[in-house]
Structure 1
Amino acid sequence: MKRTIIATGLALLVNAFTYAQESDSLAMAGDYQGMTADADTVQVKKERKKIDGVAAVVGDFVILESDIEKQYIDMELQGVDVNSISRCEVLGNQMENKLYTHQAIQDSVVVEDGEVYSYVDNQMSQLTGQLGSMEKVLKFYNKDSEKDLRDELFEIIKNAQLSMRMQGKVVEEVEITPEEVREWYDALPEDDRPYFGDEVEIAQIVKQPEPSEAEVQKVIDRLKNIKRDVEENGSSFAIKQTLYSEDPGKVQNGGVYSIKKSSPFVQEFKDVAFSLKPGQISKPFKTQFGYHIIYLEKVRGQERDVRHILLIPEVSDEDLREAREELEKIREKIIQGEFTFEQAAQNFSDQKETKFDGGVLRNPQDMSTRFELTKMDPVLYSQVSPLEGNTISMPILGETETGGSYYKIIKVNQRFKAHQADYIQDYVKIKELALKEKQLNQIKEWMDEKIKDTYISISPSYQGCNFSNNWLKK
């Protein structure tokens, strides 16, 4: 799999944004696993040869034989056994995506060009970093110019975003009641009920030392000096950003962020960005990530193109040592019975997201308190696996997303053996499964309705396919 990181075609350039829906691109294996199955009723050959011609038309979108072939190549590069996937399945998947995109345009679903350009910039930066130079990137993708590659990427990402948003729109109002969950569960034959692997509930207490006032002032003064140098001496903010910013995202999008008031940036950042005029640099300000200055590069309607420099005050080794020693004392008092782990988390933990729940972690997949061991983050798994019974770990050094350091102690509150689904014990997971099925039924109804009202033409070569959707309008 590692060898395919960059060698999987243009569609994989947008993998980080889950743009696999766009069938002009080369589909990804992960998306293929979620595809509705179309079984062949005729033998459709899958020769590995250069072919072209129209396989199908959906609305205003044409699907070429070469699009299908590209998808096969893409899957092969990822190690997928394509012998078990028919051309009918590939075409069915691509027609679904084209129908979503076609209907998104009909329904005036909006995808801002600025947002797409940002993603294109991000992909170009990643490719250049992986392959070494733009010249090598163009050669790899057989493009004459950077503009040609950017234009193709733009169309891939734009259409895929339209498809994704249309899918979201179809199911956005689908909800499920407890009664429906119960009915769904009761209707499952006992042998067909899902099976869940070994799970654990984990709690932690975190001590994250704050930087000293002197260190904070040092960072603020440094940002002021950078601002002054740009304003008074004409220095390049972009170069300063490249040299000094501690934001990991500075290598993406050429260091430019395109933001709207609805963008998922912290509120303090957006407030400052929208208070500036083009060419203006903010005063240093604080967010949960550190201290920033923002340069407003351009205003485009409701969007702002900004650069920023992030500096993170350092925490001294002495402060970290004190945090570790404090956790050691807390751990010892829990073991001696002076208070429970839950009480200690509520009173002493610095992690506000977990402290009021007694330090209990939430699984980001379903927001439950359970983590299936086989699906757990490898780092967390390595920390949890040695713990037996009510054992509390020794202080563990960790690092925040922004590079800050902290110590934590962890404990396994409960262990759940691998088991067949139980309605009470596994309600959250069962509810998710029932909701997904209800959403799939909604999508099926939507597909049936839109197929009737949309121009669709399918090549005679695929007329014998047994599609899961009524593409042939029989």
Structure 2
Amino acid sequence: MKVIFKNTLLLFALLATFCSGFAQQSKKRIDGVVAIVGEHIILDSDIDIGFVEAKAVGYDVSNASRCEILGTLLENKLFMHQAVQDSIVVTKEEVNYEFDSQLDRMVESAGSLSNVLDFYKKKSVDEVRESLSTLIENNMLASRMQQKIVEHVQITPEEVRQYYMTIPKEQLPMIGEEVELAEIVVKPEITKEQRQAVIDKLNEIRQDVMEGDSFQNKVYMYTEDPGSISTGGFYVVDKKSQFAKEFKDTAFSLKVGEISEPFLTEFGYHIILLEDIKDNKLQVRHILMAPKPTEAAIEAAKEKIAKIRSEIVNNQISFGDAARKYSDAEDSKNSGGIYLNPMTRDTRFEVNRIQDKYLYSMVSGLGLNEISQPVFVNDMYTRQNFYRMVQVTKKIDEHLADYDHDYLKIKDNALNVKQSKIIGEWITKKIKDTYVQLSPDYKDCTFKSNWSKK
């Protein structure tokens, strides 16, 4: 089973690319309804868009049929329909958050906000948001429905082994060149006075709200969280949410209407207002503020990491010992700087798939045991600035996937196959209980699922 609409970023890219061409094409052909799934319709033009989407994610569509694309669209409409039946809700704030998160990445990729607006032929961010909000919401619903279907699916080592043994050798995936890395991070110093100034300001804001000011208005004035500023600092939090532990612990300690005292995460200092609790999910607003290093502190960090590199290069200290002694990266310093891939939590990085532009610039071209020059990093995740240098501790040439050396990747593939099978079985069952109507033009299609209900 192929689920084309895997993420909102894909929708952003394809809509902009496809928009002008499709506008002209649609004038040449009447755009009729080709299918109905529950309360959702699929237009003939949606199939054309589906071809573009499939191509955008790397599928070879040269031999793909309209029936195949329609089958994928039918699956996604079924997910959306069932999400509503199961009371899965996507809030306006969550849609805005998703939009803002993707917009940040697009601005970084395009170089500026104006380039993004030009790309979409829009005059403002709000116009782009308005045109894409419904699509984002629908795809979030479909995605959450799929997650719900497979949320308890696990896979055993024996299942992984059996999966690997069933793959013909000529069909084993090729793994690109990989490296294992160690890192040393030096952060510009933040003084106690700078930290206390942020805490004092958050306490002042907290007191103002307790005396009647609007928390939401304070968010617009002060927060430094770009992902939630447009929603007034709003988040939905549950036990499985991917928030910092300190954030979740604080949120779940509050009573409805209560505002936390300032607390620290890797992102900076926060205060949280718990607005409501629905279905064991917390509806919160927060304000984030982080102390900023001075230019002198930044320069001092640059000099410090340059000196550390000099000591390593001159064999005065090993890279691992230097990481333990000097690095400010709490999650890697005690292991001698061993840097885990944040996407896989494995030690390996496939060089050509490194998405962090700073890391890629450091790793690209480095030989075994070589050390990069220090690079000033603006971390997209924590929004913090620091200097980092890395050492290539191991290189693995391009190779066919091997059970012993690539177990985690094989495990992920095996789990995906198992989840896909379970989702396929779910689709077969739900089709029987859902209103489905196909246009006569597509009644003779051969689908993977029984959409024709023959």
Task: Indicate the TM-score class for this superposition, using the shorter chain for normalisation.
Answer: 0.7 to 0.9
Identity between Structure 1 and Structure 2 (%) = 41
For residues 301 and 407 of structure 2, the distance between their equivalents in structure 1, rounded to whole angstroms, comes to 38
- In the alignment, is the contact (CA less than 8 A) between 1:203 and 1:361 conserved in 2? yes
1:472 is the counterpart of 2:447: no
C-alpha displacement of 1:212? 0.9
Q: Secondary structure at the match of 2:352?
A: helix
The amino acid across from 2:170 in the alignment is: D
Spell out, residue by residue over 1:283-326, the C-alpha distance to the aligned partner (whole angstroms, 9 max, x if none): 44433322334456x43646665544332212234433443444
Q: 1:445 aligns with which of 422, 425, 428?
A: 425
Superposition map of 1:212-251 within 5 A: 212-227=191-206, 238-251=216-229
Preserved CA contact (<8 Å) 1:392 1:410: yes
- State the distance in 1 between where 2:227 and 2:424 align: 39
Q: Does 1:310 align with 2:319?
A: no
Kindly state the Cα deviation for residue 462 of structure 1 after the two structures are TM-superposed: 0.5
Tell me whether 1:260 sits opposite 2:237 in the alignment.
yes
In structure 2, the CA distance between the partners of 1:435 and 1:387, relative to structure 1 (3 Å rule), is same
Q: Alpha-carbon deviation of 1:71?
A: 4.8
Amino acid of the structure 2 residue aligned with 1:420:
L
What is the alpha-carbon distance in structure 1 between the residues aligned to residue 203 and residue 210 of structure 2? 10
Q: Specify which of 72, 86, 109 is matched with residue 93 of structure 1.
A: 72
CA contact (8 A) 1:28 1:75 kept: no
Write the distance in 1 (CA, Å) between the matches of 2:444 and 2:49.
22
Partner SS for 1:356:
helix
Q: C-alpha displacement at 1:398, in angstroms?
A: 1.9
1:222 and 1:440 map into 2 onto residues whose CA distance is 50
Deviation at 1:418, TM superposition (A): 1.5
Preserved CA contact (<8 Å) 1:111 1:161: no
Structure 2 CA distance for partners of 1:399 and 1:294, relative to 1, 3 Å: same
Q: Amino acid of the residue matched to residue 79 of structure 2? A: Y
Aligned to 1:292: 270
Does the 8 A contact of 2:368 with 2:395 survive in 1? no
User: Would you say the 8 A contact 2:181–2:393 is kept in 1?
Assistant: yes
Classify the secondary structure of the residue corresponding to 2:146: helix
Kindly provide the amino acid, as one letter, of the partner of residue 156 in structure 2: T
Provide the residue aligned with 1:192 in structure 2. Answer: 171
Instruction: Specify the alignment match of 2:160 in structure 1.
Output: 181
Code of the residue aligned with 2:396 in structure 1: it is F
Determine if contact 1:247/1:402 at 8 Å carries over to the other structure. Answer: no
Per-residue CA deviation, residues 377-427 of structure 1 (Å, 9 max, x unaligned), is 232111112423322223322233444322222101111112222332222
Q: Quick one: structure 1 residues 335 and 121, their matched pair in 2 at CA, closer, same or farther if it must change by over 3 Å? A: closer
Q: CA RMSD in A?
A: 4.1
Of 451, 462, 467, the match for 2:442: 462
CA distance, structure 1, for counterparts of residue 157 and residue 54 of structure 2: 39
Moved more, 333-342 or 203-212: 333-342
Change (3 A) 1:66 1:334: closer
* Partner Cα separation in structure 2 for residue 237 and residue 105 of structure 1: 31
Deviation at 1:93, TM superposition (A): 1.1
* Separation (CA, whole Å) in 1 of partners of 2:307 and 2:424: 58
SS in 1 for 2:162: helix
Range 239-248 or range 201-210, more displaced:
239-248
| 2:185 aligned with 1:206 | yes
SS in 1 for 2:429: helix
Q: Counterpart of 1:202 in 2: which secondary structure? A: strand
Counterparts of 2:158 and 2:32 in 1: how far apart (Å)? 51
Query: What does 1:61-460 correspond to in 2, within 5 Å?
Result: 61-65=40-44, 67-68=46-47, 71=50, 85-106=64-85, 108=86, 110-112=87-89, 115-122=90-97, 130=117, 131-132=122-123, 153=134, 159-227=138-206, 238-253=216-231, 255-262=232-239, 263-270=241-248, 275=254, 278=257, 282-294=260-272, 298-299=275-276, 301=278, 306-377=284-355, 378-400=357-379, 401-460=381-440
SS at match of 1:315: coil
Of 417-426 and 124-133, more deviation after overlay is shown by 124-133
* SS of equivalent to 2:288: strand
2:14–2:56 contact (8 Å) kept in structure 1: no
TM-score by length of 1: 0.73
Amino acid across the alignment from 2:8: N
Conserved in 1, the CA contact under 8 Å of 2:95 and 2:137? no
Counterpart residue identity of residue 15, structure 1: T
Measure, in 2, the Cα distance between the counterparts of 1:78 and 1:174: 26
Higher deviation after alignment, 375-384 or 182-191: 182-191
Structure 1 CA distance for aligned equivalents of residues 363 and 296 of structure 2: 27
The one-letter code matched in structure 2 to 1:287 is T
Q: TM-score, normalised by structure 2?
A: 0.76
SS at structure 2 position matched to 1:249: coil
- How many matched pairs? 420
Contact 1:291 1:311 in 2 (8 A): yes
Kept in 2: contact 1:207–1:327 (CA 8 A): yes
Equivalent-residue separation in structure 2 for 1:78 and 1:196 (angstroms): 19
Question: 3-state SS of the aligned residue for 1:96?
Answer: helix
Shift of 1:467: 1.7
Cα shift at 1:231: 6.3
What is the letter of the counterpart of residue 344 of structure 2? Answer: D
CA distance in 1, matches of 2:453, 2:334: 56
- After superposition, the C-alpha distances for 1:349-388 in whole angstroms (9 at most, x for unaligned) are 2212222333222223332222122211232111112423
Secondary structure at 1:353 match in 2: coil
In the alignment, what sits opposite 2:110?
none
Amino acid at match of 2:144: R
Deviation per residue, 1:210-269 (Å, 9 max, x gap): 41112222223334444566667x76655543343322234422x231333434433444
Distance (whole Å) between structure 2 residues aligned to residue 168 and residue 303 of structure 1: 17
